[in-house]
Amino acid sequence: MDFQCPVCNKIMPYDLKLILSHSDEHVIEQIKIKKPGWVEQDGLCKRCHEYFKSQFPDRKG
Ligand SMILES: [Zn+2]
């Protein structure tokens, strides 16, 4: 089963889908700025998650 990442629009295996939790709140905020209409329940791929997380290398909690 494949999954289309709503952030980068790439098709990838369903295993690469992530649903973000509240601990990723700052990541969620950034994605919403880039992709209005996206909600965390839509999920995203690991690559996008790494990309957005890398915007906050030193931030904890
Ligand atoms: Zn993606």
Instruction: List the one residue out of 55, 12, 13 whose CA is nearest residue 31.
Output: 55
- Assess if residue 11 is contained within a domain: yes
- Assess if residue 60 is contained within a domain: no
Full residue range of the structural domain in which residue 44 is found = 2-53
- pTM, full prediction: 0.82
- Assess if residue 58 is contained within a domain: no
- Assess if residue 59 is contained within a domain: no
List beta partners, residue 4: 11
Residue 37 near residue 46 (C-beta atoms within 8 A): no
Domain count, the chain: 1
pLDDT given at position 15: 94
- Assess if residue 61 is contained within a domain: no
How many whole angstroms from 52 Cα to the centroid of ligand 1?
10
Residue 40 near residue 25 (C-beta atoms within 8 A): no
- Assess if residue 23 is contained within a domain: yes
How many whole angstroms from 43 Cα to the centroid of ligand 1?
9
pLDDT given at position 55: 85
How many whole angstroms from 3 Cα to the centroid of ligand 1?
10
Question: Could you say which residues of the chain have pLDDT below 50?
Answer: none
